[in-house]
Amino acid sequence: MLGESDEFSEILKTGFPMYLLIAIPLLLVMSPVCPANAAHEFTVYRAQQYSLQGTTYGSKSSIINLEARSLKTWSSRSRHCVFVLMDNFTTEAYEQIASGSGALVLVVPPSPHTREQQNRMIEIEQAILLSDTAIPIYMINWSTEVNNLMNDLADSKIIDENASSAAKAFINSVSANGYQIVVSANKPVLQQNIAISTIQGQLIGYGFQDKLPSILIVAHYDSFGLAPELSYGADSNGSGAAILLLLAKILSRVYAEKNRPKYNVMFILSGGGKLNYLGSKNWIEQQMEKSNTLQDVSFVLCLDSLGSNKNIYAHVSKPPKDDSKMGNFMNELNNNLGENGLKIIHKKINLGSDTLAWEHERYSIRRLPAFTLSSLKSHKNSSRRSILDTSETLDSKIVYRNAQIIVKTLVAHLYDYNTSETPKVNVDFESLRTSLYLLVLQPRSTQIIAQKNHPLVDNLFSLMSKYLKDVNVSHLTADKVDPQFSFYTVTRATLQVYSVKPAVFDLILTLAIAIYLTIVYFFIQFVPIIYDFYIGTSKPESVISLPKKNNRKEKQR
């Protein structure tokens, strides 16, 4: 009997691994998610990370490996990656998330956006830009797949507040499906060899060059927004830079005539406009040291954001006198604007502020007569620093209309308003649109284009060389000991989404497997004992032995 018990035990022990081989595939088959179809990939854009004049801004992290939650199901007591539409987000919610140790993915809703949507999105964008947070922040464009993910997260029962009982809420949380967000980007490091480029060129007037007055036309060409890769800056300041290029083309024809104006005109495409106009600051300092370009300046005309509406504002640090060159130009511009007229806005330079309001202030500090023409009434308009400033929101016809008026006024001023000598100029819409497309169809955030020999800088240099003389590029690099500015790597990454069960499901599954293995273990250990006990306690049946017949005796008888 004992041999039979040992044999049964050996059968169970040798057969036990076979149960596992059968159980594991069954668990995989019964799983509600097919592993082959569980992963999705999206291109995401990391929020700004930079420093300006010793102050750091933006998001310091780039790596995410967290469970996804919607704003509704997010909990500050645990680490989650929160997905939220930008127009449904608030600064209060951002402050709560930023104070934790999770992550944030902002979904940019599809355009067109209502005015209310734009205001909410710009508000949260500016709040993040002015903050300094340790959590990774990414932006993603809306798509059908992203929308489905958002709906799944919103309908998730991981945290079911509508459950009728705690037991039902617990069951819902265990049975719900979740998503794991993984962004395996490199760790952000300081960008090296950053150089802000400023391009200059000029047209030389009739007479002795050194004795002629100069007019400076300035526009910065970089953009700024929450995500560098999404910062197109169509109006601010693609429109201003495009008008500058158009002026260079038109005036090059005027200056090719024998009766050219008695002014030198300097064109300056400055870099670092969104970094407190550091490109203009560096250019002015170089001119002060090496040349006499700034000795006789009639005025400095800065162009900024001229595509939002037909109103044109002249922003000045000091109102000009009516009989001054700058005053005469503004009066002529006011006449050409007709009913709208030119609206002059006077704002003193705030030397106590870390940043300047407009680019002309860089020149006004040096006591040069300067002003900025813009369609924006205030420098505080947040659209100047927004990812919403795209070609879709820019009206090229408004840019063209404003360009026509500026060209007409400038040409008349160059000939001292002598109508008999002033040539008629043709403002070509296609030339303006070509310049706009060159600028606004690619992101121009400083950390993207601030590389030597960047294609955009090369193209702008080529265009200016086509129309102007003495075209050259000056570069501003950050000081290695005390840098005025710095940027960090990782501006875009790949976000992977995996459909998974929540952590509580893993806990329950682990407990179930442990109980199952315990039962199997004790079954193997105690079944032979129980079997032996059963055999030992059972009564054997009595056996009656019959006597054998003696066949030999029978034969003898």
What is the CATH classification number for the domain harbouring 90? 3.50.30
Per-residue tokens: 406:
């500026």
What is the CATH classification number for the domain harbouring 364? 3.40.630.10
Is the confidence at residue 184, as pLDDT, over 50? yes
Is the confidence at residue 14, as pLDDT, over 80? no
Is the confidence at residue 162, as pLDDT, over 60? no
Is the confidence at residue 328, as pLDDT, over 90? yes
| 16/192 Cα distance (integer angstroms) | 61
| 363/371 Cα distance (integer angstroms) | 9
Mean pLDDT for 478-487 is 91
Interval 209-238: pLDDT, tens = 889 999 999 999 999 999 999 999 999 999
Indicate whether 152 and 224 sit together in one domain. Answer: no
Q: Is 12 part of any domain?
A: no
- The total number of residues shown for the chain amounts to 557
Q: Is 264 part of any domain?
A: yes
Interval 112-139: pLDDT, tens = 999 999 999 999 999 999 999 999 999 9
Indicate whether 146 and 265 sit together in one domain. Answer: no
Q: How far is CA 264 from CA 202, 261, 474, 513, in A?
A: 7, 8, 20, 85
pLDDT at 19: 53
Q: Is 472 helix (H, G, I), strand (E, B) or coil?
A: strand
Indicate whether 47 and 135 sit together in one domain. Answer: yes
> Which single residue is written with the structure tokens 């036309």?
217
Indicate whether 84 and 119 sit together in one domain. Answer: yes
Find the DSSP H helices in 137-256.
Answer: 144-154, 166-175, 240-254
Mean pLDDT for 160-176 is 55
In sequence order, the β-bridge partners of residue 314 are 344, 373
Q: What percent of the chain has pLDDT over 90?
A: 68
pLDDT at 202: 97
| 449/455 Cα distance (integer angstroms) | 8
Planar angle of CA 407, 408, 411, nearest 5 degrees: 80
Indicate whether 204 and 124 sit together in one domain. Answer: no
| 542/412 Cα distance (integer angstroms) | 135
Mean pLDDT for 239-263 is 95
Contact 205, 260 (CB under 8 A): yes
| 160/515 Cα distance (integer angstroms) | 28
Indicate whether 503 and 456 sit together in one domain. Answer: no
Indicate whether 405 and 374 sit together in one domain. Answer: yes
> Which single residue is written with the structure tokens 């009206």?
395
Is the confidence at residue 542, as pLDDT, over 80? no
Return the minimum-mean-pLDDT range out of 1-10, 188-197, 292-301. Answer: 1-10
**Better-scored residue on pLDDT, 162 or 249:** 249
| CB proximity list for 169: less than 8 A, separation 6 or greater | 160, 163
Write the burial class of residue 112 (CB in 10 Å: 0-12 exposed, 13-18 middle, 19+ buried).
exposed
Per-residue tokens: 145:
């797949």
**Better-scored residue on pLDDT, 483 or 75:** 483
Q: Is 486 part of any domain?
A: no
Q: What percent of the chain has pLDDT over 70?
A: 85
Confidence of residue 144 (pLDDT cuts 50, 70, 90): very high
Mean pLDDT for 298-314 is 96
pLDDT at 95: 94
**Better-scored residue on pLDDT, 461 or 10:** 461
Is the confidence at residue 70, as pLDDT, over 80? yes
Mean pLDDT for 81-86 is 96
Q: Is 182 part of any domain?
A: yes
Per-residue 3-state assignment (H helix, E strand, C coil) for 493-508: EEEEEEEECCHHHHHH
pLDDT at 538: 60
Provide the whole-model pTM. 0.85
Mean pLDDT for 306-333 is 95
Indicate whether 355 and 238 sit together in one domain. Answer: yes
Indicate whether 238 and 376 sit together in one domain. Answer: yes
In sequence order, the β-bridge partners of residue 301 are 217, 371
Is the confidence at residue 336, as pLDDT, over 90? yes
Instruction: Tell me the CB-side half-sphere exposure of residue 445, using CA atoms within 13 A.
Output: 27
Is the confidence at residue 452, as pLDDT, over 80? no
Is the confidence at residue 26, as pLDDT, over 60? no
Is the confidence at residue 2, as pLDDT, over 50? no
Indicate whether 147 and 277 sit together in one domain. Answer: no
| 90/93 Cα distance (integer angstroms) | 5
Contact 429, 400 (CB under 8 A): yes
Indicate whether 461 and 503 sit together in one domain. Answer: no
Interval 345-388: pLDDT, tens = 999 999 888 899 999 999 999 999 999 999 999 999 999 999 99
pLDDT at 317: 96
Mean pLDDT for 49-59 is 93
Q: Is 72 part of any domain?
A: yes
Confidence of residue 29 (pLDDT cuts 50, 70, 90): very low
Is the confidence at residue 149, as pLDDT, over 60? yes
Going by C-alpha positions, the residue among 199, 285, 192, 55 that lies closest to residue 478 is: 192
Indicate whether 113 and 236 sit together in one domain. Answer: no
Phi, psi angles (nearest 5°) of residue 411: -65, -40
Is the confidence at residue 160, as pLDDT, over 50? no
**Better-scored residue on pLDDT, 557 or 527:** 527
Q: Is 304 part of any domain?
A: yes
Mean pLDDT, all residues of the chain: 87
| 461/452 Cα distance (integer angstroms) | 12
End-to-end CA distance of the chain: 47
Q: Is 548 part of any domain?
A: no
Contact 314, 344 (CB under 8 A): yes
Return the minimum-mean-pLDDT range out of 42-46, 351-355, 438-442. Answer: 351-355
Going by C-alpha positions, the residue among 286, 288, 267, 289 that lies closest to residue 278 is: 286
| CB proximity list for 142: less than 8 A, separation 6 or greater | 85, 107, 108, 109, 110
Interval 497-540: pLDDT, tens = 998 876 667 777 788 888 877 887 787 777 777 767 777 766 55
Domain that holds residue 341: 195-481
Q: How many domains does the chain have?
A: 2
Per-residue tokens: 265:
């005109």
Q: Is 514 part of any domain?
A: no
